[in-house]
Amino acid sequence: MDTLTPQQKLVQVALRLQRVAVPLARTYMARQAELGLAKVLTEERLSSLAGIDASLAAIDALEALDAWHRAGWERWMVEATRLYTAVLAEFPEPQRALESAPLMGALQREMQARHRENAARDDWVDAARRVCALARRGREIDAHTPGIVLADDADIAEFERQLARVDAVAALQQAQFEERAARIQAGMDRLGAH
């Protein structure tokens, strides 16, 4: 016989989902750190064809890691929705609406945040690839001059635009990280209140 109240079941579901989400996030962060993304757009890398190839390989690996992570989060969201919906169905009707609105709103905000984070990452990848392409074109024209070589003034201007784009995305991703940390803390605080 089930002795847990629907409210207690909601807390159990949240804890169960957390046990999946936290390792997924930690694995992603650990694998991302292994890619050495901080080196991708350095002068050292962009000064040789081999370095550019290494940077492009890291970007390819990042895209594969992102695909894995996105698929994991999509499965998590489907499971979260399924589990929460089942427990919410156990509440009497007036309380169901009161419990459902903030919970489903939180899931919706999570999906929207994921979409914004994915779009930012895609923007970073695109800008980084463009920087590598410009460096490659310059290096193919001049294989002997030390440092980053760019083909012409138009490529220099485009290189600078893409690096500014990378910097803007990095600032956006930092803000998104801080927003996510606040959402997680708020969720943990709500769990503690139950």
- 61 lies in a domain? yes
Which comes out higher in pLDDT, residue 21 or 58? 58
- 112 lies in a domain? yes
**Owning domain of residue 93:** 6-193
- 1 lies in a domain? no
pLDDT, residue 177, reads 81
Neighbours of 27 (CB within 10 A): 14
Q: Based on the structure, what is the number of domains in the chain?
A: 1
- 133 lies in a domain? yes
pLDDT, residue 182, reads 80
Each residue's pLDDT tens digit, 81-115: 999 999 999 999 989 999 999 889 989 988 999 99
Please state whether the predicted TM-score (pTM) of the whole model is above 0.85. Answer: yes
Task: Quote the distance between the C-alpha of residue 76 and its chain's center.
Answer: 14
DSSP code, position 89: T
For tokens 């999509």, name the residue: 74
- 46 lies in a domain? yes
pLDDT, residue 169, reads 95
Helix ranges (DSSP H) in the chain: 6-34, 43-46, 49-88, 93-141, 153-193
For the range 42-50, what are the long-range contacts, defined as Cβ-Cβ under 8 Å and sequence gap of 24 or more? 43/147, 43/148, 46/131, 46/132, 46/135, 46/148, 47/135, 47/139, 47/146, 47/147, 47/148, 47/149, 48/139, 49/136, 49/139, 49/140, 49/143
Which of 125, 118, 114, 127 has the alpha carbon at shortest distance from 58? 125
Residue 36 clears pLDDT 70, i.e. is over it: yes
Each residue's pLDDT tens digit, 106-156: 899 889 999 999 999 999 999 999 999 999 999 999 999 999 999 999 999
- 37 lies in a domain? yes
pLDDT, residue 117, reads 92
Which residues fall within 8 angstroms of residue 139, CB to CB, at 6 or more apart? 47, 48, 49, 52, 149
- 103 lies in a domain? yes
